[in-house]
């Protein structure tokens, strides 16, 4: 079986979209950098390490992705953090600010969740996505202990990673925020372990935030501080980077990057000799923003006809694995996968032409194969 891969075309489209988005972003007012120096945070010395690595999605063969294969996306160097000196601070617009040592956090009741992360800029068919089991205490009880004051609006999550931005010579500290009501809704975890092992340095040791159903940019690593605020957070990675923009009649409009959009990807199409001569299997995964996957449909003729795939799922915030067996005739076949989540939302067949940035990409994945005679 020979396979024709349209990744180069998809990459060109992504780069063009990203360039358009950067041009629009350049016209917006620059938010004040959320700099570590301005907040008095002692930022650990950085260590060189791999910052970007995709998971080889075509090698997907199990529900969980091993730690060493899980995708990476970091912006500054991996901070070196002394566990004995570590303190997690919870402060801001609260009645009872406090801090906890790593030992104190480790003694809190822990939960385990299987959660899929997807990088906000992951392309269709790309490998910036993965699923792992995360364990640690829930964030909500700590927030209740701090007692947010009336008018509290958002929770800012600050990482210990700081330095010059990879594209702009601006000193920054990585930080993102979520609406405060979302804490009770998604039940974030302060993850200490990943797939049953201590959290690796490249994945946020000693603690990272796990927000089930939200995009990877919100899963803040090397967590240093949680700050309750009563005004919208205007940090660089909140308003200038990782924002989705859409062309409208009124001009470019910023769209929220928060919940994962429903998406499916084909890992591979392979022969099944045990099923008989000429049998093939389509194998892949589908996920959504905490709503679970209701169905995945597969087309072997470019979208003219659809059939239901078989699903295996474990958690509504984790991907579902799908398979579809069929016996094709010799020749060229265009395979398409389309997922629908628990709220009835389905993937679009094609990319939205009004999108100005290369983020939250979720149109249907196409894969062309040639079956030999």
CA terminus-to-terminus distance, the chain: 10
Write the DSSP string, 7-29.
HHHHHHHHHHHHHHHHHHHHTSP
**Residue in 83, 101, 61, 51 with CA at minimum distance from that of residue 203:** 51
Among residues 292, 288, 244, the alpha carbon closest in space to that of 262 is found at 288
Question: Which DSSP letter does residue 153 get?
Answer: -
| Cα distances (Å, whole numbers) of residue 220 to 189, 197, 343 | 11, 19, 27
For residue 133 the two structure tokens come to 């089991």
**Digit-coded pLDDT (tens) for 73-109:** 998 889 999 999 999 999 999 999 999 999 999 999 9
Q: What would the pLDDT profile of 170-205 be if each residue is shown by its tens digit?
A: 889 999 999 999 999 999 999 999 999 999 999 999
In this structure, the number of other CB atoms found within 10 A of the CB of residue 131 comes to: 26
For the entire predicted model, the pTM comes to 0.88
What is the rounded distance in angstroms from the CA atom of residue 286 to the CA atom of residue 267? 11
pLDDT band at residue 138 using 50, 70 and 90 as cut-offs: very high
243 with 359: CB under 8 angstroms? yes
Residue 373 pLDDT: 83
- β-bridge pairing 293-299 and 307-308: antiparallel
CB 74 within 8 A of CB 216: no
CA–CA separation, 347 vs 367, rounded Å? Answer: 16
* Residue scoring higher pLDDT (255 or 213): 213
- Token reading at 122: 């992951």
Q: Which of 325, 327, 331 is nearest to 308 (CA)?
A: 325
């Amino acid at each position: 079986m020979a396979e024709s891969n349209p990744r180069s075309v998809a990459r060109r489209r992504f780069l063009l979209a990203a360039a358009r988005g950067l041009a629009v972003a350049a016209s917006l007012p620059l938010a004040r950098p959320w700099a570590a120096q301005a907040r008095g945070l002692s930022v650990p010395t950085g260590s060189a390490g791999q910052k970007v690595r995709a998971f080889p999605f075509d090698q997907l063969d199990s529900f969980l992705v091993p730690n060493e294969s899980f995708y990476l996306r970091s912006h500054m160097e991996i901070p070196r953090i002394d566990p004995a000196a570590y303190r997690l601070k919870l402060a801001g617009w609260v009645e009872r600010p406090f801090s906890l040592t790593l030992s104190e956090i480790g003694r809190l009741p822990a939960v385990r969740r299987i959660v899929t992360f997807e990088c906000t800029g992951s392309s269709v068919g790309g490998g910036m996505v993965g699923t792992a089991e995360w364990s640690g205490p829930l964030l909500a009880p700590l927030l209740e202990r701090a007692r947010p004051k009336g008018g509290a609006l958002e929770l800012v999550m600050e990482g210990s990673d700081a330095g010059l931005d990879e594209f702009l010579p601006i000193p920054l500290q990585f930080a993102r925020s979520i609406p405060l009501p979302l804490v009770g809704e998604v039940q974030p975890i302060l993850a200490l372990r990943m797939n049953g092992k201590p959290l690796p340095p490249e994945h946020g040791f000693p603690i990272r935030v796990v927000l089930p159903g939200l995009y990877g940019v919100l899963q803040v690593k090397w967590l240093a501080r949680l700050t309750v605020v009563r005004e919208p957070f205007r940090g660089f990675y909140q308003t200038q980077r990782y924002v989705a923009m859409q062309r409208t009649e009124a001009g470019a409009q910023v769209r929220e990057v928060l919940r994962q959009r429903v998406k499916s990807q084909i890992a591979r199409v392979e022969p099944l000799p045990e099923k008989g001569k000429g049998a093939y299997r389509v194998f892949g995964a589908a996920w959504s923003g905490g709503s679970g996957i209701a169905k995945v449909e597969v087309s072997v003729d470019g979208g003219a006809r659809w059939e239901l795939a078989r699903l295996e799922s474990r958690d509504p915030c984790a991907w579902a694995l799908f398979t579809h067996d069929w016996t094709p005739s010799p020749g060229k076949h265009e395979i398409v996968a389309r997922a629908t989540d628990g709220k009835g939302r389905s993937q679009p067949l094609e990319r939205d032409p009004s999108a100005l940035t290369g983020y939250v990409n979720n149109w249907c994945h196409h894969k062309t194969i040639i079956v030999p005679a």
